[in-house]
Structure 1
Amino acid sequence: MQLPINPPVEPMLAKSVPKIPTAEGMAYEPKWDGFRCIVFRDGDEVELASRGGKTLTRYFPEVIAEARRQLPPRSAVDGELIVIRRDADGGAPRLDFELLGQRIHPAASRVNLLAEQTPASFVAFDLLALGDEALVEQPFTRRRAMLTEALAGVAAPMHVTPTTTDLDTARRWFDLFEGAGLDGLIAKPADIPYAPGKRMMFKVKHARTADVVVAGFRWHKSGPVVGSLLLGLHDDAGTLHHVGVSASFSVARRTELLDELAPYRGGSADHPWVHGDHESGQRIPGGPSRWSGTKNLEWEPLRPELVAEVGYDAMEGDRFRHTAQFVRWRPDRDPRSCGYEQLERPIRFDVGQVLGGDPTARG
């Protein structure tokens, strides 16, 4: 591969901010919830590069084929790999990160099967090179204009992300597009170059809190202190489901937590997860997966009597999409009252309208 810029290249990153930033010429884009990916194409040679220099090429043969068919013959395009779920009940199509995660499989036969069953799409949002020209030193406004022109003829499953410089439209996108499974907003200053590995952009994500049952914990690898808290929510039938973890604690706080959890340890005799029924659909703490590898996932049960308030950004099905942030203990809450009904569910929105540039969505 002989391009003006060749892999490995770390993608430019975004810094988290609490509210939508404003500045002259600031561009706003939907924040896609998928795998960050730079597609390098030099004729028939195509490489899908993720963060950290890892290759995604072998896992997405259908994207390789589309890149050869639709992307400029010599180009480096930054974007996101996504999977769109279309339910049989006719609900609005939306992003599904869990289905996307299943695409990372060691067996070639499985990779090819999933490429047919859950094909991925690629959403382009920046251009690093075109022909013999490297564009990383160019301001974003020029890169965006060249991206739009170079990919003007692409069709699904290749897309160019919508963008706007109108703040009111950006605010509407932030509220509306979550219902299609998107993650928030990205804000890009007009004059920024493409700086690999640097946090030159801004990201704004949804922030919410929920009261959850703390029904177990895992030890930290550094020693006999708390590594993470295991969190649960009750469904309408009263079944307690494992919905995620809270793990971002200081060294001192991990020791304090061990003392705070001590009165609730030893509750395995009738614990709803120790004696849970995964086959019936109950979510319980599981074993190693392709994501955890050989990581020790053993856990210690706690009597499910503790309630904590945690911060979270989004749900993935019936669990927290990312690690939840511990806020405080809630001794005033009955653990039986901690259910899914307290969670804010965004109105479903068709991701096709985001990708297709529906005028009512853009404003």
Structure 2
Amino acid sequence: MEFPTKVALAQAVPALPEGPGWWYEPKYDGHRTVLRRTDETVVLYARSGRVVTQHWMDLAVAGMELRPGTVLDGEAVIWRNGRLDFAAAQSRAASSMTRARALATRYPASYACWDVLQHPDPAIGDCRNRPYTERRALLLELLADVGPPVQVTPATDDRDVAVLWYDALREQGIEGIVCKRGGAGYPSGQRRWLKVRHADTVDALVLGFTGPRLRPHHLVLAVGDEGGPARVSARLEPVLAARVGEALSSAAVVGERRAEGEPYTRVETDLVVEVLAGSGRHGTLTVIRMR
């Protein structure tokens, strides 16, 4: 495998698909992370491919229990009081190394793993072309003797069970269900998985901001795919602006750019926010929260 590798993505749909061959998993509210166990260490990658090991050192240490040559796909999450805390996870992902270590002590992370991309057995190796059900079996075997914080996410091929999860797990911060074809390979860089979320929102990658960094006025966003056009959001609510500012506090500044005729500060970050679906069709994008 080449690193960083492109992760599979999901397309939003209004309802769970029906029919044979579908598998369903809870959709976590955290930070998408690829975990790679090398011969000597563990390397963690964000969805963009950026190395983020220093932000999740507790998971890197836990990953040393894996066999060298293992590459997993999953979500770095933080549980607080029995519920997923996406703001805490995003703060970890956007913090400095020193602050990330302090946050890890207060709010340790867990790794919800749903796929194996590379198996440590050379006879198996790159798993991405194997069917989901086969990769799932390999994943369960690999992590059978590995305890928390690295854990396999639940999965079912029973749509009725998935519907129960969709309703019952919402109180724990599970934001929906991801649906995958049991006979399909791992769709690197493609939106072939489906996702059903409670909120009628879409994801947007933060490209930059206007105003002061610690309390930005507007965000400049790429909606959907990361290569989308730059769009300017509506003015952020004060509380949200403070949270976004904290997440952007250590982001590297690329320079000054323009979007929709507005000057803004371009930054290098993996910060993702949710915007109201359709809010950008005839006006500015309305940001709801950080992802």
Structure 2-normalised TM-score? 0.72
Q: 1:20 to 1:45 in 2, by over 3 A?
A: same
Residue in 2 aligned with 1:147?
Answer: 139
Cα deviation, 1:182-202, whole Å, max 9, x if unaligned, reads 110000001111121011211
Indicate the SS of the match to 1:147.
helix
Whether contact under 8 Å (2:95, 2:247) holds in the other structure is no
Q: Which amino acid aligns with 1:26?
A: W
Q: 1:83 to 1:218 in 2, by over 3 A?
A: closer
State the aligned residue count.
233
Match of 1:29 among 12, 25, 40: 25
Q: Find out whether 1:205 has 2:197 as its counterpart.
A: yes
Alignment of 1:4-83 (within 5 A): 5-69=1-65, 71-83=66-78
Whether contact under 8 Å (1:184, 1:206) holds in the other structure is yes
Residue in 1 aligned with 2:179?
Answer: 187
Residue in 1 aligned with 2:285?
Answer: none
Alignment of 1:67-216 (within 5 A): 67-69=63-65, 71-86=66-81, 93-104=82-93, 107-131=96-120, 132=122, 133-207=125-199
Deviation of residue 326 (structure 1)? 5.8
> In 1, distance between residues paired with 2:241 and 2:168?
33
Indicate the SS of the match to 2:129.
coil
> In 2, distance between residues paired with 1:7 and 1:165?
31
Alignment of 1:271-290 (within 5 A): 283=239, 285-286=241-242, 288-290=245-247
Deviation of residue 207 (structure 1)? 3.5
Deviation of residue 108 (structure 1)? 3.1
Cα deviation, 1:266-294, whole Å, max 9, x if unaligned, reads xxxxxxx7xxxxxxxxx375484443856
Residue in 1 aligned with 2:284?
Answer: none
The alignment-based identity, stated in percent, is: 31
Deviation of residue 82 (structure 1)? 0.2
Indicate the SS of the match to 1:115.
helix
Q: 1:104 to 1:190 in 2, by over 3 A?
A: closer
Q: 1:143 to 1:117 in 2, by over 3 A?
A: same
**Cα root mean square deviation, aligned:** 2.8
Indicate the SS of the match to 2:104.
helix
Deviation of residue 159 (structure 1)? 0.7
Residue in 2 aligned with 1:291?
Answer: 248
Larger Rg: 1
Q: Find out whether 1:229 has 2:234 as its counterpart.
A: yes
Q: Which amino acid aligns with 1:66?
A: A
Indicate the SS of the match to 2:77.
strand
Q: 1:228 to 1:49 in 2, by over 3 A?
A: closer
Deviation of residue 105 (structure 1)? 5.2
| Structure 1 stretches lacking a partner, 5+ long | 87-92, 210-216, 232-241, 243-272, 274-282, 297-320, 328-363
Structure 1-normalised TM-score? 0.58
Deviation of residue 85 (structure 1)? 0.7
> In 1, distance between residues paired with 2:27 and 2:219?
34
Deviation of residue 66 (structure 1)? 0.3
Whether contact under 8 Å (2:94, 2:248) holds in the other structure is no
Cα deviation, 1:93-151, whole Å, max 9, x if unaligned, reads 11001111121355433222212111111011001111221111111110001111111
> In 1, distance between residues paired with 2:96 and 2:248?
15
Cα deviation, 1:225-253, whole Å, max 9, x if unaligned, reads x943347xxxxxxxxxx3xxxxxxxxxxx
Q: Which amino acid aligns with 1:121?
A: S
Deviation of residue 153 (structure 1)? 1.7
> In 2, distance between residues paired with 1:58 and 1:228?
30
Match of 1:322 among 274, 279, 290: 274
Cα deviation, 1:61-90, whole Å, max 9, x if unaligned, reads 111110002x2332111111001112xxxx
> In 1, distance between residues paired with 2:117 and 2:133?
13
> In 2, distance between residues paired with 1:162 and 1:148?
10
> In 2, distance between residues paired with 1:219 and 1:129?
37
